[in-house]
Amino acid sequence: MNVLLSGVVGSVAHGLAHEGSDVDRLGMFAVPTERLHGLHRPRESHVSTGPDVTLHEAGKAVRLILACNPTAGELLWLARYETRTPLGDELVAMRGRLLSERAVRDAYLGYARQQFRKLLARDPATDPAKAAKHARHLVRLVRQAEQLHRTGHLTLRVEDPDAVRELGESFAAAPLRAETFLARAADRLDAPGVLPEAPDEAAADAWLRRVRAAFYRPGE
């Protein structure tokens, strides 16, 4: 596969991994451009387990990034990469221009509220580890959204993992406490921040066209 960018994401990248945590890898690849011209389009994502690897085709990856999808967007903010190409470097360099105020708020809070619903549906007495995991994700997503809103930059590795774990355990034990946490976050994200109203779609489109040109090999 024509992998453009890949690396370790998830709890390892966040500094929240523990013994037994999965090692999740994420990447993007480019299909040969001529394959996009036929009747049947190629698969846009390849997901495997053991090891856990998710690869998105460049077109899908950039659409997810423009929507500020928290999972897909991590790929542009890694401290280290396992695969990094010139085209991948170009996308990393424009990562701040692909953010937008409303998309960050909706995507990150949307994912955090999804974790809250999972927390409410799970009995912490029967599965405390899973409940704590949902709660940690909730806390992390809110903090990431607030950092992006405030600075336009994302640091994946949390500064205070013990505090995130402690707050997560508190929410896991009493999930309704997280409601106030989410409501306050929503208020902060509604206040003026540094992010633009809309992402730079023209830059994203130009990058994707460069990818298509680079991998166009007619006659092969």
pLDDT tens, position by position, 158-203: 999 999 999 999 999 999 999 999 999 999 999 999 999 999 999 9
d(CA 155, CA 158): 7
Residues 60 and 91 in one domain: yes
Q: Please identify which residue in the block is written with the tokens 């509604």.
A: 190
Q: Does 90 lie in the same domain as 132?
A: no
Residues 178 and 167 in one domain: yes
- 22 within a domain of the structure (yes/no): yes
Q: What mean pLDDT do residues 12-40 have?
A: 91
Query: Does residue 195 fall inside a structural domain?
Result: no
**Same domain, yes or no, for 116 and 67?**
no
Residue 23's domain comprises: 2-98+200-214
Predicted pLDDT of residue 220: 60
The answer to whether residue 219 sits within a structural domain is: no
Q: Above pLDDT 70, what percent of the chain?
A: 99
Same domain for 158 and 121:
yes
SS3 200: coil
Q: Are residues 180 and 210 in the same domain?
A: no
Average pLDDT, integer, range 26-35: 96
Where residue 50 falls among pLDDT bands split at 50, 70, 90? confident
- With vertex at residue 211, the alpha carbon angle to CA 196 and CA 33, rounded to the nearest 5 degrees, is 130
The lowest-confidence range among 4-8, 56-60, 69-73, 118-122 is 118-122
Domain of 60, CATH number, reads 3.30.460
Q: Which of 92-96, 123-127, 160-164 has the lowest mean pLDDT?
A: 123-127
Same domain, 119 and 72: no
Mean local confidence (pLDDT), 5-22: 89
DSSP string, 127-150: -HHHHHHHHHHHHHHHHHHHHHHH
Token code pair at residue 42: 């190629």
In a domain, 169, yes or no: yes
User: What is the reported pTM?
Assistant: 0.93
Q: Answer whether residue 159 is part of any domain.
A: yes
Same domain? For 53 and 14 the reply is: yes
How many domains does the structure of the chain reveal?
A: 2
Q: Compute the distance between CA of residue 139 and CA of residue 67 in angstroms, rounded to an integer.
A: 21
108/166 same-domain check? yes
Residue 208 clears pLDDT 90, i.e. is over it? yes
105 and 186 share a domain? yes
**Residue 141 above 90 pLDDT?**
yes
Strands (E), the chain: 2-9, 24-30, 45-48, 52-57, 83-84
CA distance 91 to 204: 8
Average pLDDT score over residue span 82-87: 97
User: Is residue 220 domain-resident?
Assistant: no
Residues 157 and 208 both lie in one domain: no
Radius of gyration in angstroms for the set of CA atoms belonging to the chain, rounded to a whole number? 19
Instruction: Tell me the pLDDT band of 209, cut-offs 50, 70 and 90.
Output: very high
Both 109 and 125 in a single domain?
yes
**Average pLDDT over all residues of the chain:** 94
